[in-house]
Structure 1
């Protein structure tokens, strides 16, 4: 089975998480098994594990990976970083995901939706590869000067447009 991978790229507070959350809900409702990977570019690597709890202590003492399972689900944390393709494979093989949405990883090779806040964001990000759609703020009257389709973030056809892109076939 192949997996459909779609990246959402843009700067903080551009609306990536909001858009992805709406898409996740819609795809799950249609029967998709959706996984989400968020690139955390900040340097505070202990954000996931509390050093005052058992799991955090295991990590502090050198465990390569720490997992925690309970009634609320399963969490996994590692101090090492793998390539995005390895995370996607993990989601596919372990959790049987047919769709993986990725927030960030600007330089990765997957199909991208660029979510912009300002014209300056376009100037900074327009050289990224595999941009398939540009989402611009509803209150703007500018469109990126590109051959790539642009759509306002409040357009009622936005999620339909993204789904149609995804129906073009798996990207992995």
Structure 2
């Protein structure tokens, strides 16, 4: 993942990836002022619960069409709208 011109990846040779491969519930790595967190088998509800502890104005959820949350529809022009 490339964020703000930096790229931090869990290296296959580093402890963080070894922890994940060994079955760690979660692992994190910090570098250059960025923190990346990996958690296996996380549910949407768990993710949203963690987001409550961050100073966020909004959370955009992609790929959960059946989830019981309000939806945002993006269209290029008014003709794409179905009323």
The reply on whether 1:136 has 2:83 as its aligned counterpart is: no
The reply on whether 1:87 has 2:47 as its aligned counterpart is: yes
Counterpart-to-counterpart distance in 1, 2:26 and 2:79: 46
Q: CA RMSD in A?
A: 2.2
Higher relative contact order (CA 8 A, sep 6+): 1
Count of residues paired in the alignment? 75
Q: Which runs of 5+ in 1 are unaligned?
A: 1-47, 115-134, 147-172
Runs of 4+ in 1 over 6 A off after TM superposition: none
How high is the TM-score relative to the length of structure 1? 0.37
How high is the TM-score relative to the length of structure 2? 0.68
C-alpha distance after superposition, 1:8-65 (max 9, x if no partner): xxxxxxxxxxxxxxxxxxxxxxxxxxxxxxxxxxxxxxxx633222211111112111
Counterpart-to-counterpart distance in 1, 2:64 and 2:13: 31
Counterpart-to-counterpart distance in 1, 2:33 and 2:70: 32
Higher strand content, 1 or 2: 1
Higher helix content, 1 or 2: 1
